[in-house]
Chain A
């Protein structure tokens, strides 16, 4: 059985780690979303619709930015978990971000991220236990193959306005992988430049 992954991201203080889990065939998305909207602190997770995630790197980039902004004391949303969802966005519209990237009642593939901080530490076991209890779905491994099976590329292209990228037919099928990688790079850059006003 798959379990969550615990990752110490490079260049974050050692006592900040992220736990990441993936679920498919989730059946109780609407009640999970209700818990979030109600502000139930037990459900303080970044709950992300996995169809708008292209790779591990994208998910970890969002976590990295949110935790770094937490450390630098400049969160733009309620907490580090909502900030992770917000970090996926290419623009500053928070409400729109949650509609696009956050869990919705129709979400079936779910990416869950939980941050453990010095003031609010969470062990991998505790998080896994709570997720197992709360999510009605099948847990999968957090890896690029699983994520690729959940990605809605057309939707991602639209959200990040990358419709023209990698549409060079002469390069052929062999480059589907390279194309995906290029999309990933552009998505990460678009996320990194969110909110860049100056």
Chain B
């Protein structure tokens, strides 16, 4: 993997301390930077999520917000993991310095794998609706993972195919789909990542909005897979006790969009 930036950003102080391999900037969002680095030993990769200070904010407020968000994400990750929801585990936290160190998930985000798979299928000349067992399988696993998360009382807040990963099997060749292995593109355990906007909620409204956002993500990012979103919902519907009510609520959310009317 190569860094997305050619020029160096100021590293968070923790990463400025020596390590066997230089930290690699993986992605940059509005709120946080994500580095690949190592935890404790050169052989243990980790992801470091760093929320830099925002100079335009009052320093006290900035510190408070950053602390709160780092801790909230770390707590939700631990809660999920304890209850068997597939999320990265937390290695270390320094809310004062604004970072969170997480288990490194070897694999790729669903958005990328799914697009590769769709392109591969088109090039092969397979019509939509044919030979889509693997895609259905992936959709089912997504529905189950999301259902599991909702079942333990956590809503994600930003559920897109970029925040779902497909984890490579351990000991698998890193380049296992370099050639000829396209059939395996959609294989792997679904891991839910980036709980930066997540919260604890058992309202069917919040859960339905999660599903709605995911459905829209499929519609806009992978329109040729959108037709199978019902498979996600079907698997979701069986995943926990309250799921059928959420699916009912989803119909209302679809009618009006993500935001609730503030009238009345």
A19 at the interface (CB under 8 A from B): no
Among B16-24, B49-57, B205-213, the one that faces the other chain is: B16-24
Give the docked Cα–Cα distance between A38 and B143 (Å): 59
- Chain B residue with Cβ nearest A59: B40
- Chain A residue with Cβ nearest B77: A189
Among B88-96, B121-129, B195-203, B235-243, the one that faces the other chain is: B88-96
- Chain B residue with Cβ nearest A194: B93
B74:A192 contact, CB within 8 angstroms: yes
B71 at the interface (CB under 8 A from A): yes
Q: C-beta contact mask, B102-124 vs A, less than 8 Å → 1, else 0? A: 01000000000000000000000
Give the docked Cα–Cα distance between A12 and B15 (Å): 9
Q: B11-69: which have CB < 8 Å to A?
A: 14-15, 17-20, 37-42, 44, 67-68
Among A64-72, A95-103, A120-128, the one that faces the other chain is: A64-72
B75 at the interface (CB under 8 A from A): yes
Give the docked Cα–Cα distance between A110 and B38 (Å): 28
A192:B96 contact, CB within 8 angstroms: no
Q: A145-179: which have CB < 8 Å to B?
A: 162, 164-165
B40:A189 contact, CB within 8 angstroms: no
A60 at the interface (CB under 8 A from B): yes
CB distance from B18 to the nearest CB of A (A): 5
Q: Which residues of B contact A37 (CB under 8 A)?
A: none
A192:B91 contact, CB within 8 angstroms: yes
Q: Which residues of A contact B14 (CB under 8 A)?
A: 11, 68
A189:B94 contact, CB within 8 angstroms: no
B68:A198 contact, CB within 8 angstroms: yes
A61 at the interface (CB under 8 A from B): yes
- Chain B residue with Cβ nearest A63: B40
Q: C-beta contact mask, B1-19 vs A, less than 8 Å → 1, else 0? A: 0000000000000110111
Q: Which residues of A contact B95 (CB under 8 A)?
A: 196, 198
Among candidates A13, A57, A64, A189, residue contacting B81 with C-beta atoms closer than 8 Å: A189
CB distance from A11 to the nearest CB of B (A): 5
B37:A198 contact, CB within 8 angstroms: no
Known: A11-B39, A165-B84. 9 other contacts (CB 8 A): A11-B19, A13-B17, A61-B40, A64-B40, A72-B96, A186-B82, A192-B93, A193-B75, A196-B93
- Can you list 21 A-B pairs, Cβ within 8 angstroms, ordered by A? A9-B41, A10-B18, A10-B40, A11-B14, A11-B15, A11-B39, A12-B17, A61-B40, A61-B91, A74-B96, A162-B82, A164-B82, A165-B84, A185-B103, A186-B78, A192-B92, A192-B93, A193-B74, A193-B90, A196-B74, A196-B95
